[in-house]
């Protein structure tokens, strides 16, 4: 086990276990193995698996929102900030697909996650929309929201469902030329 406090270590290990095994395969045994602790420690610090998953998803959501704020509040041009945000989201769904799935599927498994997912998506859209509007871009708030929803939805769906069998339906955003074209068109759509 690492030098971090046990409760925090269990939380980070839960996030790792979600990414490795997916939310639907997650058990307290897998989390305990990942953390190098016994089930009693999980229950001591978090009570139930549901509480632990809730805390892990809240932690990753807050992390994503914090990164989004950091990206959108730099002194860079709005084009550069939006591009960096889109790259961040693309890389997030490519590198952490099961965490993204857990956020999207969480409301199915955990009823109390419904409002959390809606708030996360709403906050993401609001942060980007505010940055675009403050930049003086000529789009209406409705156009900005519509475009953000389309772009974010495409990236998330691409990351979750892209398979070799579905290559005709999706642009491969890992391919540099395709990614560059997508980023350029998405930024143009937003401003």
Q: pTM, whole model, 2 decimals?
A: 0.87
Distance CA 10, CA 3 (A): 12
Q: CB-hemisphere CA count at 13 Å for 43?
A: 6
**Domain range summary for the chain, segments of one domain joined by +:** 1-47, 55-190
CATH of 55-190, one of 3.30.70, 2.160.20, 1.10.357, 1.10.3470: 1.10.357
Residue 143's CB: how many other CB atoms inside 10 A? 14
Angle between helices 78-95 and 141-161 (to 10 degrees): 30
Distance CA 15, CA 11 (A): 6
Q: How confident is the model at residue 36 (pLDDT cuts 50, 70, 90)?
A: very high
pLDDT, tens only, 64-120: 999 999 999 999 999 999 999 999 999 999 999 999 888 887 777 766 766 777 788
CATH of 1-47, one of 1.10.10.60, 3.50.50.60, 3.30.1490.20, 3.40.50.880: 1.10.10.60
């Amino acid at each position: 086990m690492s030098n971090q406090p046990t409760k925090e270590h269990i939380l980070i290990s839960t996030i790792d276990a979600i990414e490795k095994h997916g939310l639907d395969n997650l058990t307290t045994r897998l989390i305990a193995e990942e953390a190098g602790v016994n089930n009693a420690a999980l229950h001591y610090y978090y009570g139930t698996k549901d509480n632990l998953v809730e805390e892990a998803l809240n932690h990753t959501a807050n992390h994503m929102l914090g990164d989004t704020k950091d990206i959108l509040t730099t002194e860079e041009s709005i084009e550069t900030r939006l591009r960096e945000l889109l790259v961040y989201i693309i890389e997030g769904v490519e590198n952490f697909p099961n965490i993204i799935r857990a956020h999207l599927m969480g409301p199915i498994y955990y009823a109390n996650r419904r409002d959390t997912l809606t708030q996360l998506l709403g906050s993401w859209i609001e942060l980007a929309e505010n940055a675009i509007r403050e930049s003086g871009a000529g789009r209406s708030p409705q156009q900005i929201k519509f475009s953000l929803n389309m772009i974010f939805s495409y990236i998330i769906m691409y990351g979750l469902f892209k398979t070799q069998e579905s290559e005709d339906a999706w642009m491969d955003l890992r391919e540099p030329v395709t990614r560059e074209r997508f980023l350029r068109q998405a930024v143009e759509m937003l401003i």
